[in-house]
Amino acid sequence: MPLDDLVLGLQRFVDRLIRRARRGCAPTAGRRRLLVVQIDGLSRGVLELALTQGRMPFLRRVMERGGWRLHPMFVGLPSSTPAFQMAAMYGVRPDIPGFHYHEKRRREDVYFPRAGDAARVERAQAAGRRGILEGGASYGCVFTGGAVDNLFTFAIMKRPTGSGLLAALSALIVLAWVALKSTVITAVELTRAVLRLVADPVGEWRRGWKWLAIKVGLSVWVRELFTLAVARDIYAGAPAIYVNYLDYDVLSHAYGPRHGRALRSLRRVDAAIKQIWRVCRRVPEHGYDLYVLSDHGQALCTPFAQVAGGRRFERVIFEDFFTPHGARAVGPERPAGRHHLASGIKALRMGRAPGFFQRFFNYIEEGFPWVLGEVKEARERDNVRVICAGPNAFIYFVDDAAPLAIDRIEKRWPGLAEDLSRHPGVGYVFARGADAPVCFWRGKRYRLTTGEPGPFAGRADAALVVSSIGDLMAMPSAGDFVIYGIDAAPGHVSYIAEAGAHAGPSPEELHAFVVAPPAARFPEPLNHPVQLYPHFVRYLEVPERESAA
């Protein structure tokens, strides 16, 4: 169509303009350069479905005609972006049990979207290690990987980095083009939304506007910005580039990993990959090797509140499992006495005061957690801290700075683990044993070893799952209890409000992929993202003829 030709022509003009505004001289020849495109949250199963359905035509074409190979990858626990990127970028087995967790030794939570947390974790756990992006650029990541240019990276979210007058000029060109192109696309999407609203006022009003905001924000503006920023870096010859496209992950969280809206986002990501690949071909002297990978998959989940009559997981834990015997209820039937006020405060904190006052307290606690100094998914009472991070939740006994083994916990709370595992919203409860992790599932206790995989015995990947549970429970920052809603009685459950979830041991979450150029050689099999590091870091160290060996 003439309009398509016009847009493509303008795109080529902008590409040439960015190339002419690149920083410094062309890089020295004789080295291959690293370019990683991460499709956040895309499991290998959903990738294969998308390829079969024609939703990712470019990726399918380079695999069928260009000889690119799909390498299966088991990502380990937790199946989450921070743990994956720390392992792949720095070659360490991280102490990162989830997206939100507690460090008992420091008596502090780590919550990655919060300013400063990702930077502190990166400094502590990557100290002395060379990042695979040293001197390069990262976009949309949790950690920098040593990159000097960063945008929307959690570790430096409030201070994106870059340098030089020509860098500023090329950035201005990128921003101007992104603004123009994205404004046009946004106008088209808004027009379509209005037409859908006219056709289905009730249904579209209920479900469409959240989707529209996500699509316009991430799948238009952020994706376009990332793609053109990467193009600028390719023309500049950045030694390493890592871009993380978030479209699919966000939509999968909102609607489920195989929902039509999540799957449709993959076509737009595929188009972005194609655009990046074309830019690489325009500067073959820069020698970029393009890798497409995922950090984890997602499982279709039911929010815990739907299983627990509208109560959040933290409230259920304290009200049903940790309420002290003999707690004094407050109400008209209890006459006031000299301990009335203290008892009333305690009753409120324990969630046992009836009527208006307790409802008001619960409203404040759940709707405005910042009033109590908390992130919404974290609560602490009587030296017990509960944190929800997705389909995973952690229980910490914070009066002891060291991780507690199951024997010590059972002396204080006999039968607690079995009782937790019987709750309909709970799948697995993991704890530390004397010589191996312990798993509680539906009221039964299992000692997990590769020869005795317990409830995972029927799975083809049982040995890998048990090994990854051992890695998880060896992390000092993992909870004294690590609880998963995966494989709960009614199906997979998430402890936050989401339809798609990750961090757990389901096959959908654990099995990801790397799509690599024909010459790339990875260890076989890829059983942990830490195995990617030696291959990627060599791009900073070796000449062209050896880099893909």
Q: How many residues does the chain have?
A: 549
Q: Does residue 486 lie within any of the structural domains?
A: yes
Provide the whole-model pTM.
0.82
C-alpha to C-alpha distance for 370 and 354, rounded to whole angstroms: 24
**CB-based contact 98:394 (threshold 8 Å):** yes
- pLDDT (tens digit per residue) in 371-414: 444 556 789 999 999 999 999 999 999 999 999 999 999 999 99
Tokens (6 digits) for 502: 């990750």
* Three-state DSSP string of 127-139: CCCCCCCCCCEEE
What range defines the domain where residue 448 resides? 302-322+382-501
Is the pLDDT higher at 177 or at 107?
A: 107
Is position 219 within any domain?
A: no
**Percentage of the chain surpassing pLDDT 70?**
71
More confident residue, 213 or 77: 77
Q: Is the pLDDT of residue 73 over 50?
A: yes
Report pLDDT for 222: 80
Confidence class for position 354, pLDDT limits 50, 70, 90: very low
Reference 139, options 225, 208, 218, 71; nearest CA is 225
What is d(CA 405, CA 262) in angstroms, rounded to the nearest whole number?
A: 41
User: How many domains does one find in the chain?
Assistant: 1
Task: Give the model confidence (pLDDT) of 176-222 as tens digits.
Answer: 554 555 465 556 555 655 555 555 555 545 555 555 555 555 556 78
- Please check whether residue 197 lies inside any domain of the structure: no
Residue 277 lies in a domain: no
pLDDT at 463 over 90: yes
Q: Which of 5-19, 32-46, 221-235, 318-332 has the highest mean pLDDT?
A: 32-46
pLDDT for residue 169 is more than 50? no
Q: pLDDT value at position 155?
A: 76
Q: What is the pLDDT of residue 59?
A: 98
In a domain, 330, yes or no: no
CB 392 within 8 A of CB 377: no
- Domain presence at residue 475: yes
> Would you state the pLDDT for residue 298?
98
User: In the predicted model, what is the mean pLDDT of the chain?
Assistant: 82
Q: Is residue 187 one of the residues assigned to a domain?
A: no
pLDDT of residue 342: 44
Least confident of 19-28, 152-161, 359-368, 487-496: 359-368
How many Å is the Cα radius of gyration of the chain?
Answer: 25
| Residue of 28 and 427 predicted with greater confidence | 427
Is 407 within the bounds of a domain? yes
Strands (E), 247-340: 288-293, 299-300, 302-303
Q: Phi, psi (5° rounding) for residue 347?
A: -65, -40
Give residue 90's pLDDT band: very low, low, confident or very high (50, 70, 90).
very high
